[in-house]
Chains A and B, each alone.
Chain A
Amino acid sequence: MTDGALVERACAGDAEAFGELVDRHREAVFRAALAALRDPSEADDAAQDAFLLAYRKLRSFRGESSFRTWMLTIAWRTALRRRRGWRRWISRLVLDQSSTPDTRTPIDAGPSPEAAAVQAELAGHVERLVGRLPSRLRDPLLLLATGDQGYEEMSALLGVPVGTLKWRVAEARRRLREKLSRLGYADE
């Protein structure tokens, strides 16, 4: 069954049809929220809020874009609202004092324990450095890293031309490489 058909059934009051839409797109929605918030717990809450908002606004979905793009746009805006909200400030204060690593297993784990350890260390550095990037560079970099969307979809999501997005991603990577080099990471 297509997304469009599920939307029609959900609009008619079939909550399970909407549940199927949630299952189909929850990963992409969660990762978009994670790209904006960089905190799995908050991203999870944002994803839930985004789906609930989408359900309320489902009748306004005209099918001009795919349901996925529409849903990701809602998720992104929901996450941005949360990022600007006061709860974000409070949670960041708490996290800064007692930072606990997320224990959920990444999708791309290292092939061996040693490689995984090295990769985890690098990931820690990258995560910290990414946090220091300005949001105009960080957002497209992380959205692209989710692997769920390309430049065209990101352009629609962020309202930024594709060329500008490409420059921002390249600039973000250049800055990260520069800072990683200072930490001792180097090319072969």
Chain B
Amino acid sequence: MNDVRRPGVSLDDGLDAALARTVRRAARADLRARVLARVAPGPPSAARPLAIGTAVAAALVTAMIAAHALRGPVAPWTRTTDETPVATAAPVLRAPGPADTPASAHGLARPGTGRPALPAAIRADHPRPASDDQTLDAASDAPAALIIDPLEHPATPIVPLYTNDLAIVPLAIDDVGSFSSEDRP
């Protein structure tokens, strides 16, 4: 260790001196002249603007308003690079169509229907009618959610299934438990 102990000088004294050296500096003597050079003649309310920061901020706001007017009601930061506005509202559920087939590539969609089905392992072990595995949207007849009871299938990974614009989110245990006995096998 580099011992810089010095006789007669305590660490507190050295610390005080160092702190004083840090902040006890003299202000520039021309501060008065610089301030008065920027103060307009007359009463204080007539003082000149403090800095160009205000002007820069005003210019930025003006530019943003102009950009907004040019590009329409959708704010620039909600647009994608291909000028397609990004949806800001919650996505609307709709019945998956023929184009919504990515899930079938993983064996998770019922062929020909676009509806999600249970993973193959679950189908093989527990063959059930579709009404037991899926909750159907009464209005559109589209599957709203894939129900997997984690208590019955603890090994089943609980992950959301996504089609093009429809997220199928497994229900939580509490949600499953809220079903009536008539809905259960």
Contact = CB atoms under 8 A, between A and B. Distances in A.
Answer whether A and B are interacting partners: yes
Interface of A: 10-13, 15-16, 18-19, 22-23, 26-27, 29-31, 34-35, 38, 40, 44, 47-49, 51-53, 55-59, 102, 104-108, 118-123, 125-127, 130, 141-142, 145-147, 173, 176-177, 180-181, 183-188
B45 A145 contact: no
Looking at chain A's contact residues, is the secondary structure mostly helix, strand, loop, or mixed?
Answer: helix
Given A13-B43, A106-B20, 5 more contacts: A52-B38, A55-B35, A126-B22, A146-B24, A187-B5
B9 interface: yes
B66 interface: no
Nearest to A184: B2
Contacts of A18: 35-36, 39, 44
Contacts of B41: 13, 15
Q: In which size bucket is the chain B interface?
A: 35 or more
A166 B14 CA distance: 20
Contact of A188 (B10, B19, B42, B50): B10
Contact of B39 (A15, A35, A106): A15
A34 B23 contact: yes
Contacts of B155: none
B147 to A, nearest CB: 51
Contact of A146 (B14, B23, B47): B23
10 contacts: A13-B41, A18-B35, A52-B38, A55-B47, A104-B25, A125-B18, A145-B23, A147-B24, A187-B5, A187-B11
A170 to B, nearest CB: 12
Most buried by A among B22, B23, B43: B23
B174 interface: no
User: Nearest 3 CB-CB pairs, A to B?
Assistant: A30-B27, A126-B18, A184-B2
